[in-house]
Chain A
Amino acid sequence: MSEIDLATAKKIANLSRLKMDDAELDTRAASLTGIIKWVEQLQEVDTDNIEPLANVVNTELVLRKDEVTDGGYADKVLKNAPEETQDFFVVPKVVE
């Protein structure tokens, strides 16, 4: 699928919770198409015997010990919440 049409752009915008009018969606669809075509071009390179590269500095994933070192500050966590009560975030009802 090298062409992102308006319907696909609309679906992606909806899944990403982005509100866009048709004119903007048109522009985005065109630039997304450009990106995908560029990636398709990259895929022409033969990489059959090459390990995928996750980063360029050859470092390993760092793990931590299983210790409780964080938390205990509900006030900080809730500081940006538009609404809160009894240390809960309060949001519009989201039940089925």
Chain B
Amino acid sequence: MAQLVKGETGDWEIVIGMEVHAQVIANSKLFSGASTQFGAEPNSQVSIVDAAMPGMLPVPNEFVVEQAVKTGLGLNSKINKTSVFARKNYFYADLPQGYQISQFEHPIVGEGTIEIDLPDGSTKEIGITRLHLEQDAGKSVHDQHPTKSFVDLNRSGCALMEIVSEPDIRDPEEAVAYLSKIRMILRYLETCDGNMDEGSMRADVNISVRRPGEGLGTRAEIKNVNSLKAVQQAIDFEVSRQIDIIEDGGEVVQETRLWDPAKNETRSMRSKEEAHDYRYFPDPDLLPLHVPQEQIDRIRDALPELPDQKKHRFMADFGLSLYDASVLIAERERANYFETAANGNDAKLTANWVINELLGALNKDEHKAISDSPVSAESIGELTALISDNTISGKIAKDVFAEMYKSGKAPGVIVEEKGLKQVTDTGAIEAIIDEVIAENQGQVEAYRGGKDKLFGFFVGQVMKKSQGKANPGAVNKLLKDKL
């Protein structure tokens, strides 16, 4: 449930809309044949189109168009068969054209909806307003010289998708869940790597507050919110700033603000005040973009299974809880790993082992990715099979798992080598029980005299003698009979 914020004068509701900029995975730029590879030498991946030399003509990249359509379909959104590139005019040192080629009135993707997963195990639908294609700007470096900025145009002209949400988000947790889900969908689709550290996915957050049930308040647009943690912190800060202003009798100003992660605050970007007048007009260098229905159908048919489809399938087919399913689908690799491991096995048990043991161990091991796991999916499957058919107990399985993680050996081999097979042979267990009874006559008397609590002591002794290998169910039953 969306949280209300308590102010001095009553409750406030937060209203959030997000704009996500996602760099499109492609070899070359949106309108030129220069490379998009990250981390190259300054200005080495710049064509004269990207440098905005006079007389150059932009030619759109067909694969980028395809990626945008694919993403639109993945966001359950309407694909517009005709879209129009427009010029967004503003001056900045890293924008050599003096305008950004973007889409304004006619974006390539229209309205849609995605489902987000909240920490309390519930889900919520968030509306997508649009997705449009646009050029990225170059990069300015400000810390190399006291009075100068250095400009690298390698990023200039790389294709971005701007994904705009409806103002349906109501608290920081939902905002984080929304951004996580967008990133997950983009990664499943392989249309953006979602790497926020390298800036290939960036978010602007539009925030306003209002009394519950009232109309929308004045919003501030927060830029530079470049991690999931920053989303949470920037919203917390901005919401209390706005509530303080209104409760002190003031008014929130509609403006662009910058999130400063070092100071933990947002501050006004005054220079952006006038720049908001972008004077969009259709780019005369580019004809309208047409995407034929056959192409849309072809892309739709080739879509991979998306995170939410996978989540619902895991719940329906494997009987997993929403929480377990959500954890498993968070990464495509993780979901594949689970499916391989669960193949032919108890799926719920396998899910527990993947989530609790394997992910736990990987996390402790320098936050390793599942693709670097020393334990293969097949081995986890074999381990759960050994538990299911009572070859080993759940407790022993933890020791086997630790050994598997260390040595990479298959669980069957470890069980064999260390002689960890569970003892289910009643004769063998009875022999151990007889020994325990013989060694602990005092306790036996006390138990028979009514000290029921001692039962646990006997179970413990038997398990200890069997080195944990006795089947706990059989031990319980046989002990009861003998005592």
Which residues of A line the B interface, CB within 8 A? 11, 14-17, 54-55, 59-72, 74, 76-78, 83, 85-96
Contact = CB atoms under 8 A, between A and B. Distances in A.
A14 B275 CA distance: 10
Contacts of A68: 27-28, 33-35
Given A64-B59, A66-B64, A71 B279 contact: no
Q: How large is the interface on B (under 10, 10 to 19, 20 to 34, 35 or more residues)?
A: 35 or more
A95 B224 CA distance: 14
A92 B92 CA distance: 11
Contact of B269 (A11, A67, A71, A96): A96
Nearest to B62: A63
Contacts, number: 133
Nearest to B151: A89
B237 interface: no
Contact of A17 (B91, B142, B147, B269): B91
Contacts of A90: 145, 148-151
Given A54-B287, A71-B44, A71-B46, A89 B33 contact: no
Contacts of A16: 89
**A-B CB proximity, top 3 nearest:** A69-B33, A66-B63, A71-B34
Contacts of B43: 74, 77-78, 87-89
A95 B93 contact: no
Interface string B127-142: 0000000000000111
Given A74-B41, A87-B43, A64 B60 contact: yes
Q: Among the interface residues A14, A55, A89, A95, which one has the most CB atoms of the partner chain B within 10 A?
A: A89
A64 B33 contact: yes
Contact of B287 (A15, A59, A66): A59
Interface string B429-460: 00000000000000000000000000000000
Contacts of B41: 74, 87
A61 B33 contact: no
B140 A94 contact: yes
B48 A77 contact: yes
A87 B153 CA distance: 10
Contacts of B28: 66-70
Interface in B178-227: none
Contacts of A67: 27-28, 33
B289 interface: yes
Contacts of A85: 150
A48 to B, nearest CB: 18
A90 to B, nearest CB: 5
The prevalent SS among residues of A at the interface is loop
Contacts of A94: 92-93, 140, 142, 149
A74 B277 contact: no
A63 B64 CA distance: 10
B148 A70 contact: no
Given A54-B288, A85-B150, A63 B60 contact: yes
A47 B141 CA distance: 50
A14 B89 CA distance: 12
A77 B152 CA distance: 11
23 contacts: A14-B274, A61-B289, A63-B65, A64-B62, A66-B28, A66-B61, A68-B34, A71-B33, A71-B35, A71-B46, A74-B46, A76-B48, A77-B48, A87-B44, A87-B152, A89-B43, A89-B153, A90-B149, A92-B149, A93-B147, A94-B92, A94-B149, A96-B269
A60 B292 CA distance: 12
A93 B44 contact: no
Contacts of B152: 87-89
B89 A61 contact: no
A77 B150 CA distance: 14
A70 B47 contact: yes
Interface centre among A71, A77, A86 (most CB of B within 10 A): A71
B286 interface: yes
A86 B42 contact: yes
B327 interface: no
Contacts of B368: none
The interface centre, meaning the residue of B49, B61, B286 with most chain A CB atoms within 10 A of its CB, is B61
A55 B287 contact: yes
Nearest to B92: A94
A62 B33 contact: no
Interface string B105-124: 00000000000000000000
Contact of B59 (A11, A55, A62, A83): A62
B326 interface: no
A72 B147 CA distance: 29
A93 to B, nearest CB: 5
Nearest to B60: A63
Interface string B30-55: 00111100000111111111110000
Given A16-B89, A68-B35, A70-B34, 6 more contacts: A65-B63, A68-B28, A77-B153, A78-B43, A86-B42, A88-B150
B135 to A, nearest CB: 15
Contacts of B59: 62-64
Contacts of B414: none
B62 A66 contact: yes
B290 interface: yes
A61 B149 contact: no
Contacts of A64: 33, 59-62
